[in-house]
Amino acid sequence: MVIGQHLGGRVGAVNQRLIFDYTLQSNLRVLGQPLAPEHVSGLMELGVDPSRPLLPAYPVETYTAVIDFIAAQLWPGLPRDEAGFELGRAFMRSYRETLMGKAVLSVTRVIGPHRTLERMNRNFRSANNYTETRLQKVGPSTYELWFNYAMRTGYFRGLITEALEKTSAKALSVTLVASSTGGEATFRISWTD
């Protein structure tokens, strides 16, 4: 049985992957305020009306299209993966300005990189309804972090890099070691204490 809910003029299944509004808002802030007319029209074409309050949640497909749009607008000369990396970093800087971001990121400074990684599942689940992570320690300051769904791996690499740079991690390295067309991705994260 499919139970529906209204999302942006569409009815979607309850198990639909959704991104919460404040996550989308942090990406929109990266574009600068006020938004340029070409940004407004581009976002409208993707189903996001920046002139109105954001919906409580958006399908992940819409969010992915918005990420691609913003990255292409701000870093047009970079390959999509590298532009996504830059946007992931910029997103984290913008996210720090939200109430949720301030709460999450203030804790990471105190608990350091090891415990920040251990809390990654909780941190990502505050942004959406679907992220699952698994963390495997492979060395004293080396981990592999698996995501069930990380379609734009450059973007996720940027998120992780920016978040961990605000802890005590030194000589940080975040590399993609595996990904699938279904969205699964594994990153190797290492640093010196």
Instruction: Write the pLDDT tens digit of every residue in 137-183.
Output: 999 999 999 999 999 999 999 999 999 998 989 999 999 999 999 99
d(C-alpha 35, C-alpha 46), whole Å: 15
pLDDT at 87 over 60: yes
| In a shared domain, residues 51 and 132 | no
| In a shared domain, residues 9 and 45 | yes
pLDDT at 132 over 80: yes
Task: Specify the long-range contacts of residues 48-54, CB closer than 8 Å, at least 24 apart.
Answer: 48/24, 54/21, 54/24, 54/25
pLDDT at 1 over 50: no
Question: Can you give the pLDDT at residue 14?
Answer: 61
Question: Can you give the pLDDT at residue 11?
Answer: 42
Note whether residue 29 is domain-resident.
yes
For residues 53-74, give the mean pLDDT. Answer: 98
pLDDT at 9 over 70: no
d(C-alpha 51, C-alpha 82), whole Å: 29
d(C-alpha 107, C-alpha 118), whole Å: 12
CATH number, position 159 = 3.90.1520.10
User: What is the DSSP code (8-state) at residue 148?
Assistant: S
Question: Can you give the pLDDT at residue 129?
Answer: 95
| In a shared domain, residues 115 and 155 | yes
Domain hosting 152: range is 99-192
For residues 93-116, give the mean pLDDT. Answer: 86
| In a shared domain, residues 113 and 57 | no
